[in-house]
A = this chain, B = another copy of it.
Amino acid sequence: MMRRSIATVCLSGTLEEKLAAAAEAGFDEVELFEPDLIASALSPEQVRDRADDLGLTIGLYQPFRDFEAMPDPRENLRRAEHKFAVMERLGADLLLVCSNVSASARDDDDLAAAQLRTLAERAAEHGIRIAYEALAWGRHVSDYEHAWRIVAQVDHPNLGTCLDSFHILSRGSDPANIRDIPGDKIFYLQLADAPELVMDVLQWSRHYRCFPGQGGFDLAAFLQHVLATGYAGPLSLEVFNDVFRQADPQRMAIDAMRSLLLLEEAAGVAPIPPAAPLSGYAFVELAVSPDAAAPVERLLIAMGFRHAGQHRTKPVQLWRHGDTRILVNHDGEEHPRVAAIAVESEDPIRSADRAQHLLAPLLPRERGSGEADLSAIAAPDGTAVFFCRTDAGGWLTDFLTAGPPGGGISPDVAGIDHVALSQPFDFFDEAILFYRSVLGLELQTADELATADGLVRSRAARAADGSVRFTLSVPVVGDDGFEFQHVALASDDVLAAAQAMRDRGVPLLAIHDNYYDDLLARTALDRETVERMRELGVLYDATGDGELLHVYTEMVGPGLCFEIVERRGAYDGYGAANSPVRAAAQQPLAPSSA
C-alpha cells in the first residue's frame, strides 16, 4: 500500500483544523505548506506532537524558493539553515526546493548543480533530504527533465527530484520520459488535476487546480509512468483552488481522499469493488410536509401517476405510472424537494460496498421488521442515494398495495430520464467526483449558462447506456442559496404527452413568444410544428447527433418542477441552451438552472 498524503494548502482553516481533517480522512502524511506554519499559533514542536497524536507524518516541508544558480549563494544558505532548524523542530526530513523564478538567477546548470550540491551536503548534516522540482514558470528550469538532469549531475544521496503532475502536464510535457528517472531519485510525487483552461500557467496553477478526476488531465497514465520507475514514496495531493480554500476542511479532505482512491483504482495501484452496472431508476423520492403535499399529489395524478402503495411503517406513499415510480414522503418540509434517488444496480451490495470504500457517508436508516435492507448514502447536497434491485422480495414488498399501479394512462411515460439538482456552492466539484466515482458514471461536457440572475455552471454525468443521468448546477460566482431541482420523465412523443397533460389540467410552463420567433429564424422547423410547440411550451434543441423536445411543468413549490423529455436520434444532452429561456419563464421562482 502506498502512503497517501495531502498538502495543507489544499484545505481551509487553521493548521490544527487542517491536520485533524487530513487524519480523519485517512491520510498517512501531510506536506506542510510553510505559510500555514508561519500563520499558526502552534510552535513547530507542537505541530510535530499534534501530527504524532493524529498518526500523521510531516512528509514534506515546502516550498523553499529561489535558491539555485544565484550569483552569491551565501544569503540563501543562511536562509536554508534557518529552515533546517525549523524542520528539525517539526521532525520533517524532506524539503521541497522549487526552481528559481528570480530575475537574479543565472541560466547556468553547472552553477545550479554546484549550489544544490552544497545545499544537499548541508542538509545531510541535519539528516534532511532535498527534493528539487521544476515549476512550470521557473525562470531557467521549467521542465521536469531539466530538473532531473541537474539532480543527476549533482549525484548526491540527499538530493532527488519532486514530480508534480500539474507542472508537467500543464506545459504539455511528455510524462512518458519519467520512466527514465530511477524511482529512488524521485523523492516526492505531487498530484493535481485541472480543468483545461488557456491562461497564464501561474494563475491556472494557483487558482484552478482540482483533485484528480475533477479536471481534464490523464492522471492514471501519469501515475503509471511514475510507478514504472519503482517509485515507492507517497502519493500526495497538492491542489490550490479558490473554492476548496474556503470550504469545510473535513469534507474537502474526504473529497481529496476519494479522488486518490479513484486514481489508485484507475492506475491499478489499489483495487476497490468495481462499480456495478446501473440500469435505470427504481424511484425518486420527494419529501414534503403533509400540509403542503396536495399540489404535488394533484400534479402526479394529472401526469397519470396513481397512489399505488403505502409504506408499512413510514409516512411514505408509492406513486406509479406503470414502472415509473415516485415516492412521496410526508416527513418533509413545507417546500417539496428531491430527498432520495434510487438507482437500479445489477449488484446493490457491491455498489454499497464500493460507496463505502470511497468514503460516501452512510445514512442511518430505521428499518421495520421484515422490511428490505436498503442502505443509503448521502450525496454532497444531502440527497440520499439508494442502490436497489426492483425484483421479487425487493424493496417494493415494504409497501402495502393501496391501489392499481397506474400505467396505460395518457400521457405515456417511459421512465425517468434524468434528475437535475442544483448544488451547494462550495461542493460542486465534490459532487462531480461523487457521481463519477461512487456511482461509476461518465462525465459529460460542462456548460455555462446566462440567466437573468447570473451565470450558472452545469455539468452532467450518466451511465454508459444513458439509463441513469444527473445534471448538476451551481452559480459561477457567489452563492445565493437557491435550490432548483427537477425530475425529467422520458416520453416517446413530447408533443402528444404535453397535449395530454394539458388536457388533464397539468399547468405547463409557458415559454415566451420570442423564443419561437427565434426558433423559426435559426432552425429548419416548419411553422406548424413551431406553432404547436409554442402553444404547449415545448422547447427544442438539436445537435449533429439528434434532437431534444422537452417541456416543463410549472413549479410545484419554489425549487421543484417536472420535465418531460423526448430524445430523438442519439441526442445525448439536456437542452442546456434552453435553460436561460426556461429560467426566465419561471421568474421570479427559478433564478438558477441546469
A interface SS class: helix
Contact indicator A425/B514 (Cβ below 8 Å): no
Copies per assembly: 2
| CB of A479 within 8 Å of the partner chain | yes
Q: Binary interface profile of A, 77-107, with partner B (CB < 8 Å = 1, else 0)?
A: 0110011001000000000000000000000
Contact indicator B243/A477 (Cβ below 8 Å): yes
Contact indicator A40/B477 (Cβ below 8 Å): no
Bound: A518/B44 CA distance, A: 12
Q: Of B79, B479, B520, which one neighbours A522 at CB under 8 angstroms?
A: B79
Contact indicator B200/A197 (Cβ below 8 Å): yes
In the complex, chain B residues whose CB is within 8 Å of the CB of A86:
517
In the complex, chain B residues whose CB is within 8 Å of the CB of A207:
455, 476
In the complex, chain B residues whose CB is within 8 Å of the CB of A198:
199-200, 203
| CB of A39 within 8 Å of the partner chain | yes
Contact indicator A478/B479 (Cβ below 8 Å): yes
Bound: A477/B242 CA distance, A: 7
Interface residues on A, range: 35 or more
Bound: A12/B475 CA distance, A: 14
Question: Closest residue to A518 on the B side, CB-wise?
Answer: B38
In the complex, chain B residues whose CB is within 8 Å of the CB of A454:
12, 242, 245-246
Contact indicator A584/B14 (Cβ below 8 Å): yes
Question: Closest residue to A477 on the B side, CB-wise?
Answer: B242
Bound: A38/B86 CA distance, A: 63
Contact indicator A452/B518 (Cβ below 8 Å): no
Q: Binary interface profile of A, 475-486, with partner B (CB < 8 Å = 1, else 0)?
A: 111111000000
Contact indicator B199/A12 (Cβ below 8 Å): no
Bound: A198/B201 CA distance, A: 9
Bound: A264/B34 CA distance, A: 48
| CB of A453 within 8 Å of the partner chain | yes
Closest 8 CB pairs of A and B: A246-B454, A199-B199, A82-B521, A198-B200, A39-B584, A242-B477, A38-B514, A41-B512
Q: Please, could you name 12 A-B residue pairs with CB atoms under 8 Å apart, sorted by A? A: A9-B450, A14-B452, A14-B584, A34-B518, A35-B450, A38-B518, A79-B521, A199-B200, A243-B478, A246-B453, A246-B454, A246-B480
Point out residues on A near B: beta carbons under 8 Å: 9, 12-14, 17, 34-35, 37-41, 43-44, 78-79, 82-83, 86, 197-200, 203, 207, 242-243, 245-246, 425-426, 450, 452-455, 475-480, 512-515, 517-518, 520-522, 580-581, 583-585, 587
